[in-house]
Amino acid sequence: MSAQKVTAVVLTITPYRETSCILRLFTHSHGLVHGIVKGARKDGKSVPLDRGFLLEMLLYYKPNRELHMLGALHVTEFFPGLRTDILRPALRDIALELYLKSITQSEPHPELFDLLTSFLKNLESVKQGFVFPLLWHFINKYCSLAGFGIAVEKCPECGADILKKGGILDIAAGVLICKKCAPVRTHTQACLDAYVISFLDKIETDESVRLKNYECLRITELLLLYCRHHFDIRKDFNSLGFVKTMLGQ
Ligand SMILES: [Zn+2]
């Protein structure tokens, strides 16, 4: 068994016995990896670890094993900019939970690794008003890479320009329908205004958009419902519940 040097984002950390810990990682080379670090918490040589950290390590990978040995851990990026407020780490946790809940197999997906690390980097520096749009952008990119991207160009019923007018998200079909064609009962909950749709595609830094907390939460919840439907995720997102409580909604 030979060791491979890998880079990974920490999804979860669980202390194990006296001095060890179990990590759930998203690696560049193997995708999801479940690993154990022995002696990680011994005095004097412990590596301070947290969710969302970017690590380099040796992975002793054995196919068909559930838990792999990890060694020589080294933190390459801990994204200190995420600690400047409490919302950023909470939104980071939504992204990590999306990976945890939707990915169940170890398969190489370097594009998903790159998406996650660039999200973490951007979340450090994005202006305060754009932290939620950055998350929506990330979720939509993730869905696109998985083949469930939301089609936004024209209303499939009447051909109206959704990019200009906004639309109602039909979760099962993965399309946006204009307000005239969508059932009225879906209008309040599933509406994505034009500015939100522009965020799904790219992050604008137009200061004139002022987003209310309840609206940010509604859109985030809607996009996570979309993910739950398409990735067959049965359970609620704990991280979303935390953000709701934090913002008093
Ligand atoms: Zn229409």
Give distance in angstroms: CA of 180 to centre of ligand 1: 6
Closest Cα to residue 201, out of 136, 111, 146, 127? 136
Give distance in angstroms: CA of 68 to centre of ligand 1: 52
Rg of the Cα atoms in the chain: 20
Q: 139: pLDDT confidence band, cut at 50, 70 and 90?
A: very high
| 115-136 residue pLDDT tens | 999 999 999 999 888 999 999 9
Q: pTM, whole model, 2 decimals?
A: 0.93
pLDDT score of 43 more than 80: no
| Domains, the chain | 4-77 (2.40.50.140), 84-246 (1.20.1440.120)
Euclidean distance between CA atoms 160 and 106, whole angstroms: 42
Give distance in angstroms: CA of 134 to centre of ligand 1: 28
